[in-house]
Amino acid sequence: MVQAKFWVMTKHFDGFPKNSDFELKVEELPEPKDGEVLLEAVFLSVDPYMRPFSRVSMKEGDVMIGTQVAKVIQSKNPAFPVGSHVVSDSGWRTHTLSDGTGLTPILPEWPKDVSLSLALGAIGMPGLTAVYGIEDVLGLKEGETLLVNAAAGAVGSVVGQIAKIKGCKVVGSAGSDAKVVFLKELGFDEVFNYKTVGSLEEALRKASPEGYDCFFENVGGSSSFIVLQQMKNFGRIAVCGSISTYNDSEPQTGPYPYVIMIIKELKMEGFLITRWQHKHPETLRRLLAWVKEVSYLVFMMLDDFL
């Protein structure tokens, strides 16, 4: 018997989520039966999608949705031995009984010195989103200029690094000076703090006077309209997220983008990571290889430094 703690959403969110919308509950879980495993959460994620998805995919009283990295602590399923780790959509729970459905084992080649928390970040759902947005939606090509907002976030920070690997100029916007410093360290070419620049239009123009071939949109809202005006003709926009609108109780209205899209002949496509589920295993391997490469370079630099 193990005692599981879990957070339920007691009330649908109205505006910004409040502590009182959640309740911590406890239950006793039985021993696993044949084919089952008992999981213990190691890392939980809190992702922006939870806010809009909770409205359509959850009822009040449901366990809060979410992905976790979990350790198998008891097993009656040979596919998941005790001590191994999996990624699981168990939600916000400390312990979960599972029959193995939907569990993804951590890649066997995962290096010991890379935190398993990255399975919820750069080598997980956010990293996959970055790859599909860049390759399958934008079709980003060497030498192009890409703009990404919420650039220091889980998705944006990977977007910028992959675009650099692909030989592009990368411009990022973020909401603090510390994030600006971080993104420069990651290799972004131009970064600005959108909260302090005064004019977003001027900041975009200064960062890339010739405009933008591609825009990886994470934020939405009225700032997007200003970005569209800075796109090059035939520019492409991947609409990945709209985080600035998720807590709105009333939908925002205008400005409307159609005329500028027509004049510049822009292409805009929304997407959900789930479209490319069949490619996840291969893409996760590529992301892991990139992370290993970056860690190796950091160690080389540290070696030189010391």
Ligand X SMILES: CCCCC/C=C\CC(=O)/C=C/C=C/C=C/[C@@H](O)CCCC(=O)O
- Contacts with ligand X by CB under 6 A lie at 48-49, 52-53, 56, 65-67, 89, 91, 125, 241, 272-273
Among 179, 212, 288, 291, the residue binding ligand NDP under the rule CB under 6 A is 179
CA dihedral angle for residue 47, residue 53, residue 58, residue 62, rounded to 10 degrees = 0
Beta strands 169-174; 145-148: pairing state:
parallel
Q: Which one, 79 or 272, has the nearer CB to ligand NDP?
A: 272
SS3 state of residue 16: coil
Query: Exposure pattern of 114-135 as b/e (b: 16+ CB <10 Å)?
Result: eebebbbbbbbbbbbbbbbbbe
Q: Which one, 263 or 272, has the nearer CB to ligand NDP?
A: 272
Q: Hey, what amino acid is at 177? A: D
Task: Indicate the residue whose CB is closest to ligand X.
Answer: 49
Q: Per the structure block, which two tokens stand in for 252?
A: 């925002």
Per-residue mark of binding to ligand NDP, 12-51 (x: CB under 6 A): -----------------------------------xxx--
CA 109/CA 170 separation, integer angstroms: 30
Check residue 238 for interaction with ligand NDP (CB under 6 A).
no
Q: Which one, 80 or 132, has the nearer CB to ligand X?
A: 132
Among 66, 126, 160, 235, the residue binding ligand NDP under the rule CB under 6 A is 126
Q: Which one, 4 or 140, has the nearer CB to ligand NDP?
A: 140
Partner touching 66 among ligand NDP, ligand X, none, CB below 5 to 8 Å by kind: ligand X
Q: How many CB atoms lie within 10 A of CB 111?
A: 10
**By C-alpha distance, which of 252, 196, 249 is closest to 219?**
252
Q: Which residues of this protein are in contact with ligand NDP, per CB under 6 A?
A: 47-49, 126, 129, 150, 152-156, 174-176, 179, 218-219, 240-244, 271-273
